[in-house]
A and B are shown apart, each in its own frame.
Chain A
Amino acid sequence: MKNVINLTYSFVLTLLILCLPALVLASGTGKTDIKAMNASNVLDTTGKTVQLGNTWQEKPVVLVFIRHFG
């Protein structure tokens, strides 16, 4: 029984050590580059390319980036 507990403990620990870099590291600067945002191309629901900056060319926008669909 003790061996099973030790083995499970070692397995979980190894898994944690192996996964730690992937879990801790996050990409994304946290700094907004408004010029680069303006120049970014996005696609509308029909697949047509639109320059993101065009959406706030004439009026203010509340721009919401969602995580994912689903």
Chain B
Amino acid sequence: MRSQVDKIHNLGAELVIVGNGQPNFAASFQERFKIASPLYVDPSLASYNAAGLKRTKAGTIGPLNWLPALKALFTGNFQGRTQGDPYQQGGVFIILPGDKLVYSYISKRPSDRPPVKKILQKLEAQKGEIQKLQAQQNK
């Protein structure tokens, strides 16, 4: 996703990341992965709940994750010490000003993520709407 930030910016949008740990976790995460996008944390998980995101033990440690976990391990993507709620799942949303939700993806388990290509396609489909918003703001 991080490598696609420029494409998101070119489409007139911003990438915003929310994690569930503490601010200091986010600061070290931002530094470690050189993240320039806005990064927030929600230790209360209120925004996760509002987004309808899942919290599941089975989804986290269940057999459907064993193969992706092994794959990640063999490709050198080692997971460090977990900082935050380990059973909380994530998701991706595209939201336009005026609380217009145009895309949502609620992950069932850690390896369940939407293809970045699909997210960009959904954003691109809103190009006309985004241009209208930009024109209104430039008036």
| Chain A residues at the B interface, C-beta cutoff of 8 Å | 22-47, 50, 52-53, 55-70
Contact = CB atoms under 8 A, between A and B. Distances in A.
In order of increasing CB-CB distance, the 8 nearest A-B pairs are: A68-B84, A26-B56, A36-B50, A40-B47, A28-B54, A42-B40, A60-B13, A69-B83
Contacts of B55: 26-28
A26 B61 CA distance: 13
Nearest to B104: A32
Nearest to A55: B16
Contacts of A35: 99
A21 B69 CA distance: 24
A70 B90 contact: no
Interface string B83-108: 11110111111111101010010110
B13 A50 contact: no
Contacts of A39: 50
B46 A68 contact: no
Interface size class of B (residues with CB under 8 A): 35 or more
A68 B55 CA distance: 12
A23 B58 contact: yes
Contact of B30 (A31, A45, A70): A45
A42 B50 contact: no
B1 interface: yes
10 contacts: A25-B56, A40-B46, A41-B46, A55-B14, A56-B99, A60-B13, A60-B94, A60-B95, A62-B15, A65-B19
B137 interface: yes
B15 A34 contact: no
B71 interface: no
B58 A24 contact: yes
Nearest to A38: B99
Contact of A52 (B13, B47, B57): B47
